[in-house]
Amino acid sequence: MRTRRIPGGWPGILLFFAAARLGAAGADLAQELFDEGRWAECARESRRVLLSDPRNETAALHLAVARLRLGGTDEEPLAALTSARDPEIRARAAYELGRLNWAAGDPAAAYPLLRQAFLETRSQPLSLRSGCSLNELLRAFPNLGKDDLALVQSLETCRPLWSRALRAECAAPRARADRGGWLSAPGKWLVSFYRTQIRPAIGARCSLEPSCSAYFLAASRAHGLLGLPMMADRLVREPSVVAEARRPVPGDGAPRFADPVSDHDFWFHGGGGN
C-alpha cells in the first residue's frame, strides 16, 4: 500500500504564512497601543514585530516614538526614519525629531524637520500639528522663515483650523533636563561637529545602541564634563560588548547591541552596578 507523502516544501510554506499572520496581528496591536498612548506596551509589541520583520518601518517608528514618550533622548532611530520609504513614516519621524530638537534648544535644526513634516504628510492630524508647531516656532524665531514666503502663506491659510487645544499642544516644548548645565556644552559642540562634518564622510560605524555620539551627548547632558571620560570608556569597551553579543537590538543592517548610559553611571548615583 502506497502512502502519500507531504511535499518537503509545504511545512516551510505553512510556517511562513503562520509567521506572517502573527506578524500582522502584532503590527495591528502595536498600532492600537500607539493610538491609545500606551507607550510601554507599544514599545514591547513593536520590538516583537521587529524581531520577525526587521524592515518594518511602522514598527520602528512606533518603537522610536514610544521610547521618546517614556523619557528617552536617542535621536538616531528617528533620524534614520526621516529617509524611510514611506512618506508618512518620513513625515512623522521628522515631526517628532523636530520637536525633540526644539526642546533641546536648537530651533535651527527643528525648522527644516517640521517643515518637511508639514509639506510631506497627507495625514490631516499630522498636517495640523506640524503646521501649528511651525507657526509657534516662527513666532519665537521669525528669522527662520524670512526666506520662505510660500510656507508662511500656507501657514496663514491653515490658521483658522488650529483649535485652542492644538495651539497649547504645539507650543514651545518644555526643555529637556540637562543636569550637566553649562558643563555639558563641550560635549554638545563635539557631537554637533562630528555629526555635521565627520559622519557624513565616514558613515555610521558604531555597533552599539545608542550610537557613540548619542551616548556622549546623553552622558554630557547628565554629568557635564564627566561625559568625556565616560565616552573614552565607551570606546574602549565597544569591541568587548560586541564580542559578548548579550543584548542584540532589533533593526535592519549590521547587528547592534544595547549599551545605555544608565548601565555605566551607577557610581554617580551612589548605587551598585548591574
Q: In this structure, is residue 5 part of a structural domain?
A: no
Cis amide prior to 112 (ω within 30 degrees): no
Domain boundary among 117, 146, 176: 176
Total domains in the chain come to 3
pLDDT of res. 72: 75
**Domain-embedded: residue 2:** no
Same-domain pairing of 87 and 165 = yes
Distance CA 83, CA 89 (A): 9
In a domain, residue 3? The reply is no
- Residues 204, 120, single domain; the answer is no
Pairing of strands 248-249, 256-258: antiparallel
Q: Closest Cα partner for 89 from 61, 50, 119, 64?
A: 61
User: Domain check: are 164 and 86 in the same one?
Assistant: yes
Q: Does 241 share its domain with 203?
A: yes
Query: Would you state the pLDDT for residue 145?
Result: 81
Does residue 163 lie within any of the structural domains?
Answer: yes
**pLDDT string in tens for the chain (274-residue length):** 455 555 555 554 444 444 445 445 667 888 898 888 888 999 999 999 999 898 899 999 999 999 888 877 677 788 888 888 899 999 999 999 899 888 877 788 888 899 999 999 999 999 999 999 999 999 988 888 888 889 989 999 999 999 999 999 999 887 655 555 666 777 777 877 777 778 777 777 788 877 888 788 778 877 888 888 999 999 999 999 888 888 787 655 677 788 877 778 766 654 444 4
Domain assignment present for residue 113? The answer is yes
Task: Judge if 77 and 121 occupy the same domain.
Answer: yes
Residues 248, 206 contacting (CB under 8 angstroms): no
Same structural domain, 60 and 98: no
**Shared-domain flag, residues 91 and 125:** yes
Tell me whether residue 126 is in a domain.
yes
pLDDT at position 17 is 44
Q: Which of 12, 43, 71 is the last residue of a domain?
A: 71
- Do 130 and 199 sit in the same domain of this protein? no
Could you tell me where the DSSP H helices lie in the chain?
Answer: 9-36, 39-52, 57-69, 76-81, 87-103, 107-120, 124-140, 149-158, 164-169, 185-193, 199-202, 212-223, 227-244, 266-269
Query: Looking at the domain assignment, is residue 258 inside a domain?
Result: yes
Q: Tell me which residue range forms the domain holding 212.
A: 181-268
Question: 187 with 123, same domain?
Answer: no
CA dist 239 → 12, 208, 227, 234, 250 (Å): 37, 10, 20, 10, 19
Q: Does residue 34 share a domain with residue 82?
A: no
pLDDT given for residue 263 in this prediction: 78
208-209: strand order across its sheet: 208-209, 256-258, 248-249
Which of 126, 149, 176 is the endpoint of a domain?
176
- Is there a single domain that holds both residue 56 and residue 144? no
pLDDT at residue 124, as a whole number: 94
Structural domain contains residue 242:
yes
CA angle 166/170/175 to nearest 5° reads 145
- Which sign, positive or negative, has the C-alpha torsion 249, 81, 66, 48? negative
Same domain? For 221 and 256 the reply is yes
Q: Which of 70, 66, 123, 63 is nearest to 92 (CA)?
A: 123
